[in-house]
Amino acid sequence: MSTSRATRKSTMPQWLKVALQIGLVGGVVVVIIALEGMIQAFNTRDIIGSVVAMSQALLLIVFLGTAYIAIIRSKLTDFRRLLVVAVVVGLVSSALLVALILLGQVLDLGNVFINATPALYDLLTFKLGLAAGSIVLLVVGGVSGAAAAIIHALPTRWRRSVIWGLVAVFAFGLLRDLIVTTFGGLTFLTGLLFLPNGLSVPGAITLFVIFVALDYFWSQRGAQIRSGIGARKPVRSSLLIGGIIVLLLLPQILGLYFSEVLDNVGLYLLMGLGLNIVVGFAGLLDLGYVAFFAIGAYTVGVLTSPDFGHASILTSWWFALPFGVIAAFLAGTILGIPVLKMRGDYLAIVTLGFGEIIRLLALSDFLKPFIGGAQGVNDILKPTIGPIQISNPPEFYYLILAGCLLVAFVAIRVKDSRLGRAWMAMREDEDVAQAMGINLVTTKLMAFALGASFGGLSGAIFGSKLTSIYPQSFNFFVSINVLSLIIIGGMGSIPGVVVGAIALVGLPEMLREFSDYRYLFYGLALVVMMLTRPEGLVPAATVKRELHEEEPQPETLGEAATAMPK
């Protein structure tokens, strides 16, 4: 029986099967996007003003992406057949969406999916009415597929450039506000490129052309330029100085709101660098990292807030800061002791519990007289430098930047030392590390404590920045965010943590209207990363080699093993 089924199946060509399968997947994805309410939510932002909304761009990305995947999966070389595959994928995907719209006319889907409203169908049919709109939608699907096939058919060098051009147009449209604020002085330029809502059509075309040209130029000359930069010391150091100047000027350029975003990125970066020591260097999975952030914030808060009887012990934030960091350091050590013998999953579970215990203690009535319970800690002192009080986001930016530079310096120095090697050895093989004379107790505790103290520093700044802290600020999601950003950035890689913090903390802050979908995107980003780039965006050098280099075949193993006496 199975053979007969196999022969019947083989009447359908393999490429068509692939096209239908992936088309269905794409269709399911767009239907989910629609039912999740993303179409309505993202309709408020335009990529190209009044022409392409963010929601439509999202659908286009899915159509293009699935068609492209199908093209690669089909392993065909004939362009005409590829075109058919891609168009089929686009049509099938959009047909599923049309089916949803039609189904919505017959059944009231709103009972189950609250977002399945007439407004949704209106948006999906481009407000053209049911029949015309459905046809346009199908055409869009088919054309997107064809576009994917054409992009694929371009010579490799051009293909890359065109993809970069599209990504650039999308990114510029998405980050319009940031860009307009940054280059606000250059009104003639921003006026040319942007409308009040998104890019202008000529702007989009200009950007596309510029980026295609830039990428093409880079692919021709990039290697040469890069080696030129690497070789000449003055060029490198001037780049470094330029980078530092930009970092110092950023809040002045970006203004209040984006400085606030940068502050949050920086606070998460501090935590990321700390957790990176524990998870990335030493290989100890800690899911309760928020505890140390909380301990740093609460220690400084309680010591400087007038809310409590023992207030004004410390009259300056700077005096309280070391206590916050030391408290976190000690807490890291105390957490470390009971989990010394634990590995992997068990360690993760215990640390998870620890994080929750700290939050519940902060919330408890039992400790209310000392740390405020649900009312939290209020009127926390702000740092002062001489007569200047650090109070607004741009001022905090400099404090946080200094913290990040300090912590990154420590992390880099420690990584490349006897202690850093001991951590890595422990991560690779704990038993062997011990057999080589590494004291696991002190080595593990040092990882926990140093990582925790970075978190404590972050918390100390966080508390004084907000002046009030509440137990809810220190929930499990903070731990998850920090862990996600180091996974996405690249475990054990310090530049990776920076990139991860910008991508996972900075971007969502800039796209406030997407906040409902923040965790959906986190999840999606993690899954996609694990499937396509498990080593992270900016991997640590060795991890990269580990995951992508072919394993050498131990050539003699096979023959010798058989020759061994049994």
Partner 1 sequence: MSLLQLKKMVKRFGGLVAVNNLDLDIPEHVIYSVIGPNGAGKTTVFNCITGFYKPEGGDILLNGDSLVGLSPDRIARKGITRTYQNIRLFSNMTTLENILVGLHPHLTTNVFGAIFRPPGVRQEEAQAIAEARRLLQFVGLAGQGDLLARNLPYGMQRRLEIGRALANRPRLLLLDEPTAGMNPRETEDMTRFIRRLRDELGITILLIEHQMRVVMGISEKVSVLDYGEKIAEGTPTEIQNDPQVIEAYLGRGSSAAEVSTFTRTAA
Binding residues for partner 1, rule: CB under 8 A, are 409-410, 413-414, 417-422, 424-425, 428-429, 431-440, 446, 450, 542-543, 545-546, 549, 551-552, 554-557, 559-561, 563-565
Residue placing its CB nearer to partner 1 in the complex, 318 or 409: 409
In angstroms, what is the minimal distance from the CB of 405 to partner 1?
14
Q: Are 452 and 332 in contact (CB under 8 A)?
A: yes
Q: At 388, give phi and psi (nearest 5°).
A: -85, 130
Residue placing its CB nearer to partner 1 in the complex, 1 or 435: 435
Q: How many residues does the chain have?
A: 566
In angstroms, what is the minimal distance from the CB of 565 to partner 1?
6
Residue placing its CB nearer to partner 1 in the complex, 436 or 527: 436
Residue placing its CB nearer to partner 1 in the complex, 60 or 277: 277
Burial 255-292 (b: 16+ CB within 10 A, else e): eeebbbbbbbbbbbbbbbbbbbbbbbbbbbbbbbbbbb
Q: At 141, give phi and psi (nearest 5°).
A: -60, -50
Residue placing its CB nearer to partner 1 in the complex, 259 or 443: 443
Per the listing, tokens 């590494």 go with: 438
Number of Cβ atoms within 10 Å of the Cβ of 426: 22
In angstroms, what is the minimal distance from the CB of 28 to partner 1?
38
Q: Are 324 and 297 in contact (CB under 8 A)?
A: yes
Residue placing its CB nearer to partner 1 in the complex, 296 or 420: 420
Q: Is 199 helix (H, G, I), strand (E, B) or coil?
A: strand
Residue placing its CB nearer to partner 1 in the complex, 6 or 435: 435
Residue placing its CB nearer to partner 1 in the complex, 1 or 561: 561
Neighbouring residues of 219: CB distance < 8 A, sequence distance ≥ 6 = 157, 160, 161
In angstroms, what is the minimal distance from the CB of 283 to partner 1?
11
In angstroms, what is the minimal distance from the CB of 555 to partner 1?
7
Residue placing its CB nearer to partner 1 in the complex, 20 or 410: 410
Give the pairing of strands 46-48 and 52-53: antiparallel
In angstroms, what is the minimal distance from the CB of 230 to partner 1?
18
Among candidates 201, 179, 240, which has minimal Cα distance to 47?
201
In angstroms, what is the minimal distance from the CB of 408 to partner 1?
12
Could you give the CA distance from residue 160 to residue 499 in angstroms, rounded to a whole number?
A: 22
Q: Is 392 helix (H, G, I), strand (E, B) or coil?
A: coil
Residue placing its CB nearer to partner 1 in the complex, 358 or 447: 447
Neighbouring residues of 317: CB distance < 8 A, sequence distance ≥ 6 = 300, 304, 380, 381, 382, 383, 384, 460, 464
Report residue 556 as tokens. Answer: 């003699």
H/E element holding 390?
A: none
In angstroms, what is the minimal distance from the CB of 114 to partner 1?
48
What is the distance in angstroms between the CA of the first residue and the CA of the last residue of the chain? Answer: 45
H/E element holding 384?
A: strand 384-385
In angstroms, what is the minimal distance from the CB of 564 to partner 1?
7
Report residue 108 as tokens. Answer: 């009231």
In angstroms, what is the minimal distance from the CB of 533 to partner 1?
17
Could you give the CA distance from residue 263 to residue 251 in angstroms, rounded to a whole number?
A: 10
In angstroms, what is the minimal distance from the CB of 452 to partner 1?
14
Give the pairing of strands 388-389 and 384-385: antiparallel
Residue placing its CB nearer to partner 1 in the complex, 486 or 543: 543
Could you give the CA distance from residue 56 to residue 202 in angstroms, rounded to a whole number?
A: 19
